[in-house]
Every structure is written in structure tokens, then in C-alpha cells.
Amino acid sequence: MTINLSQNRPPNGPTLVVEALHHLWDEQGIGGAPLRATIDRVNPTISLAEPLRVYRLGFNEIHGDEFLSSARAIGWRYLIESGPTVAYADLVDTALGKQIFASLSRNRNAELLNDALHLAQELAKTLEDCEARILDVPSLYLSAVWLATASSIFIPYVDGGRFHQPGARIAVDPNFVAGIKLRAQEVSSG
């Protein structure tokens, strides 16, 4: 009945994100004070303090029926909302077990991620406890919110040109995993 987040969240993650955002956004002339207020304010649904674990699936790992188990945890994604502006910041795990700031995305993908997370929260009300994750498949230009349960649910938010088509909307894709395998086969043969 609730979304669980990974228990191994980086303790200094919010600090790393805040420092990086101050550096990046101050250079663009946006200013640190409004940003600090945005980051310090807890969003009622998703806050900077609750990152989602990011799993990556490489192209060469997409084979067999259980290929999803090959997805590797690589970092953390923090959603940032400030009025009409939505962004997300990524931290990546290092070999020493620490995290470093990797990227900031203030674009359509961030808006779609926000929509997908809101849908995930609605779905979670009808599910047994599940863990919210992000699955990235960069070689196929796919990303989804992954509600990890006995029967995992995927809500794609990056899908090639799909979300730039008229009428496209965020929705659960019951064929997401099969679609990954099919796309990988098409790329391999074509």
C-alpha cells in the first residue's frame, strides 16, 4: 500500500545536489536564494531528501528471459520541483562507495518523470508494498519508473520520439520488458 525507497540512500546526497545546483544555477544568473528555498521546501509527494535508485541495463545484457536481473544499480535520481520548473539531478556511485554529482536535467524528460512519479504514487495505493526505482536503458533511449514488486510495473517516461507525438501520455506499459527485448533484437538485426 506504499512506495518504499531504497534504504541505502546516500547520507550526503542532498548536500552534493545542493552544492552542485548552487554552482550550476548561480553561473547562469538564476541566483542561490530562490534555489535554496526550493530545495529546502519539502514537496508533498516527492522531496529532494528521497532519491530514487537508478538501475542501468546495457545493450549486451539484454538476452534470455531473465535479462532484467542484469540491471545494475549505478546511482541516485533526485526530483526537484519549483513552481512550474521541474528538474532532476543525478548522483553516480563511485568505486569507493561514495557518490558524485553527474548531471542536471531541466527538460521535457524531467517533466515526464514528474508525471510518471505522480502516477506511480496513485498506483501504489492499490498495491502491496513496492520499491520505486528508475530503469535506464540508454542504448535504446528508454527510461521508466520501476515499481519493483512480485509483478513489477513500469511507467516509461523516456521512449524515443513517443512522448513528442500528439496525444502521447504517461501510462503503465504492461509490455515494457518484452518491448526492451524486441527493440534490442531489431537493433541487432538491422
Q: With b meaning 16 or more CB within 10 Å and e meaning fewer, what string describes 85-116?
A: ebbbbbbebeeeeebebbebbeeebbbbbbbb
What CA–CA distance (Å, rounded) separates 131 from 56?
Answer: 16
Which cell numbers in the block locate residue 110?
524531467
- Using one digit for the tens of pLDDT, what is the confidence trace for 115-171? 999 999 899 888 878 889 999 999 999 999 999 888 899 999 999 767 767 777 899
Backbone angles phi, psi at 130, to 5 degrees: -140, 165
pLDDT at 7: 65
DSSP-assigned states of every residue in 26-55: HHTT--HHHHHHHHHSPPSS--TTSPEEEE
Domain ranges (residues) in the chain: 3-189
DSSP, res 149: S
Mean pLDDT of 73-87: 85
SS3 60: helix
* pTM score, whole prediction: 0.82
Q: Tell me the H-state helices in 3-137.
A: 13-27, 32-40, 108-124
